[in-house]
Amino acid sequence: MSDLAQCRDVLGDLIAFPTISAYSNLSAIAYIAERLETAGARVEVMTDPGGQKANLFATLGPERAGGLVLSGHTDVVPVADQPWSSDPFTMVERDGRLYGRGSCDMKGFIATCLVKLDGLKAAARHRPIHFAFTHDEEVGCLGARALVEVLRDRACRPAMALIGEPTQMQVIEGHKGCCEYTVTFTGAEGHGSAPEKGVNAVEYAARYIGRLLELRQALIARCPAGSRFDPPYTTLNIGGLTGGHAHNVIAGKAVLEWEMRPVVAEDLAFVKDEIAAYVGDVLLPEMRQVAAQADISTEVIGEVAGLEPMAENAARDLVFRLTGANRADLVPFGTEAGLFQGIGMQAVICGPGSIEMAHKPDEYIELDQLRQSMAMLDRLGEIYGARNAE
């Protein structure tokens, strides 16, 4: 059977596991683990505290530090309320395309890795090739977050990561982070005629927003020199504010939704520190002077770390050699790459399929994209295995 035919079969199997982020991915992980073990990889399945989700980390080659991680997420976005032409979890082939939920985002890449294990094993003779297949990427990179915490403490930590998110096989070296927060303001209701006797949650939310808007200006001033992002600085957005009951009632509750897209990790820390200081030093003391139970609580909806483009990036340079590309771009969507960078690894994004198809009804990947991804992995076998040095 040709590699492409095998890849088609494996992708069909992977798509048939309905690994929507809200559900378990354990059967998909077991399937992937079995193929890796058969190829001789050392496989670790790391279950999350709930026991229904797992990351898989596997290694071909010697037990030593360094080497490359091939990385992808096993979860997919929901299909509810989307007009699919056929069952999203039964792969269908039409006109050189394979349709199914997760076909491009990003089970296609995982399938190409699983088909090329023999070549990768030979390539990993001198330095290891690892695999990281995670859970819950689509809901804030929860799996990868847990995985990098494990890797951070290891003596045998890998050096590079290739994340196979769909880029049409273009080499991507950077994206902004994406951090989303929901802030709940709890005040004290009262009659509108006596504002000083209550704590107006909407008013405190408005002052919090005012501080965020000041910080937005400060972020423009902090724009890193030479930033290639568009816009080049970290942005803040106020996405929603709800609260209050009626014209003549002091608003007892308000809920604010906002997001930030940092270009550098320092900006994220800057905004969080500044807003925490404003809440702790100014807003909360004022609120609690009137009502002891008044509160401001922040829920982190997701904090996807950005991938900062770096002058020195061995992972990018390796993928240049694998694909023949000589330039790397930036993308407007987030991935797990920044988490790997956050523990000192060098990371790059390059994978089959188009992000335009991701998350949509009738998601598909072109067979030719799978072919190109497999060619990249073949080439990895040739040039990675030939080098002894890190």
Q: Which residues bind Zn ion (CB under 5 A)?
A: 105-106, 165
Of the pair 15, 251, the CB lying nearest Zn ion is at: 15
Of the pair 91, 199, the CB lying nearest Zn ion is at: 91
Of the pair 251, 357, the CB lying nearest Zn ion is at: 357
CB of 110 to Zn ion, least distance (A): 11
Of the pair 166, 244, the CB lying nearest Zn ion is at: 166
CB of 55 to Zn ion, least distance (A): 15
CB of 134 to Zn ion, least distance (A): 10
**CA atoms of 123 and 130, how far apart (whole Å):** 12
**CA atoms of 156 and 146, how far apart (whole Å):** 17
Neighbours of 226 (CB within 10 A): 8
Task: Tell me which residue has its CB nearest to Zn ion.
Answer: 105
Bridge partners of 172? 329, 349
For residue 118, what are the contacts with CB-CB under 8 A and spacing of at least 6? 39
The per-residue b/e assignment along 135-161, b for 16 or more CB within 10 angstroms, e otherwise, is bbbbebbbbbbbbbeebeeeeebbbbb
Is residue 125 within 8 A of residue 61, CB to CB? The reply is: yes
> Which secondary-structure segment (H or E) carries 235?
strand 235-243
257 is catalytic: no
CB of 79 to Zn ion, least distance (A): 15
For residue 316, what are the contacts with CB-CB under 8 A and spacing of at least 6? 171, 173, 328, 346, 348
Q: Name the active-site residue from 3, 37, 48, 75.
A: 75
Of the pair 108, 128, the CB lying nearest Zn ion is at: 108
336 is catalytic: no
Q: What 3-state DSSP class applies to 221?
A: helix
**CA atoms of 44 and 382, how far apart (whole Å):** 27
Q: Name the active-site residue from 105, 136, 137, 303.
A: 137
Of the pair 262, 353, the CB lying nearest Zn ion is at: 353
Neighbours of 4 (CB within 10 A): 15
**CA atoms of 110 and 164, how far apart (whole Å):** 8
CB of 106 to Zn ion, least distance (A): 5
Q: Which ranges in 153-233 belong to alpha helices (H)?
A: 201-221
CB of 293 to Zn ion, least distance (A): 42
Catalytic residue positions?
75, 137
